[in-house]
Amino acid sequence: MISISGLCVSFDNNPVLKKINVDFEQGLIHGIVGLNGAGKSTFFNVLAKSIRPDSGKLLIGKNAITIRDTAYLETVNYFFKGITGTEYLKIFTQTNADFKLSVLQDYFKLPLNELVENYSTGMKKKLALLGILKQDRPVFLMDEPFNGLDLETNKIVEIIITTLQEKQKTIFVSSHIIEPLFAVCDKIHLLENGTFSKYFDKKDFDEIDNELFAKLKYEAREVISGAL
C-alpha cells in the first residue's frame, strides 16, 4: 500500500494540496484526474520528491518513499541542449534488466543520433519515456504521458503501462484526455480543490464524465450559447 497522510503543499501561502489522506493499492494503475489547477502535477512532484511538502507522510509499505522508489515522466520534458537521443539514454544506468532499446525503438522510431532539441514534442515524450523505462523502480509516475503522441504511439504507451503493471509496478497516470485512462487504469481518483474527493473502480468509470463535467456542461452551454 502507498499511504499518504496529512499531505499539505502550498506556494506563497496559497494552498495547493490540502491535508490529503489517501491509500493507493500497490501493483495497480491509478489514474489521477482533475481540472486545470486541481493540483495533479504538484501531487506527482511531491511523490517524486521534486517538491517538499509543508507537512504529511508518504509511505510505501511501512517505509518512507525515497527518491530511488519513483521514476517520473514529467508533463513537459526538458533535455540538456546539444546532446543526442542516444547520449541522453546513456546517461541513465540500466537497472531494468529486461529493457531492450532495440525492440522498443522498432515501435518508437526515434532519430536517436540527432540532437534532442530538434525533436518534436511527441518524440521528446517518447525519449523521456525510454529514459524512465531503463530504470527498475517500484513506482512509475506519468504526468500526461499521452500528450503530443500520435494514435499509434498512444496505443503503444497504453501497452507499456499495462506491461509495467504485469511486472508488479504501481503506476500513477494523469491525462487531460480521459479515454486513454479508461483503457488502462484500475482506479481513477478525482482530485478537486487540492484533495482527493472520490475514486472510481473500473466498473464505475462511466460516472466520471458526469462527475467532472456535469456542472460545467450545463453552465457552459448557457453562457456560450449566449456569447456566440
Partner 1 sequence: MRFPLLYIRLRQLQREFQTIGIYAVLVLPAAFYFMWISYRQFANKHPYYIVIPLTFLCAMLQINRKDKQFIFSHLENPHWQLFTEYTALTLPFFSAAVFTKSWLYFPLEIVALFCLPFLHLEARSKAVLKNMSRVIPAAHFEWIAGVRKNIALITALYILAAAFCWFRILPLFLLWFLTTMILSFYSECESLQILRETGQPAGKFLLLKLYGHCKYIVLFFTPLIVVNTLCNPEFLLINLLFIPVQVALLCFAILLKYSLYAPNKLETGNSVLLTSIAVLVSLPYFLPIPVILAFIYFYKAKKNLNYYLND
User: Contact between 131 and partner 1 (CB under 8 A)?
Assistant: yes
Q: Which of 21, 37, 55, 66 binds partner 1 (CB under 8 A)?
A: 66
User: Contact between 187 and partner 1 (CB under 8 A)?
Assistant: no
Nearest to 55 by CA among 18, 24, 22, 23: 18
Least distance in Å: CB of 219 to partner 1? Answer: 37
Q: Which of 12, 52, 106, 206 binds partner 1 (CB under 8 A)?
A: 52
Q: Which stretch binds partner 1 (CB under 8 A): 6-14, 19-27, 85-93, 194-202?
A: 85-93
Q: Which stretch binds partner 1 (CB under 8 A): 15-23, 78-86, 154-162, 180-188?
A: 78-86
Least distance in Å: CB of 117 to partner 1? Answer: 6
Q: Contacts with partner 1: how many residues (CB under 8 A)?
A: 31
Contact 7, 166 (CB under 8 A): no
Please return the burial class of 70, using the count of CB atoms within 10 Å of its CB with bins 0-12, 13-18 and 19+: buried
Contact 181, 175 (CB under 8 A): yes
Q: Which stretch binds partner 1 (CB under 8 A): 7-15, 70-78, 202-210, 220-228?
A: 70-78
Long-range contacts of 37-44, Cβ-Cβ distance < 8 Å, separation of 24 or more: 38/191, 38/192, 38/193, 38/194, 39/9, 39/191, 39/194, 40/143, 40/174, 40/191, 41/75, 41/143, 41/174, 42/9, 42/16, 42/17, 43/17, 43/191, 44/72, 44/74, 44/141, 44/143, 44/172, 44/174
User: Contact between 140 and partner 1 (CB under 8 A)?
Assistant: no
Q: Which stretch binds partner 1 (CB under 8 A): 14-22, 29-37, 87-95, 189-197?
A: 87-95
Instruction: Identify which of residues 112 and 188 has a Cβ nearer to partner 1 in the complex.
Output: 112
Sign of CA dihedral 222, 223, 226, 228: negative
Question: Per the structure block, which three cell numbers stand in for 111?
Answer: 532519430
Window 102-121: residues binding partner 1 (CB under 8 A): 113-115, 117-118
Least distance in Å: CB of 6 to partner 1? Answer: 18
Footprint of partner 1 (CB under 8 A): 48-50, 52, 64, 66-68, 72, 74, 78-84, 86-88, 90-93, 113-115, 117-118, 131-132
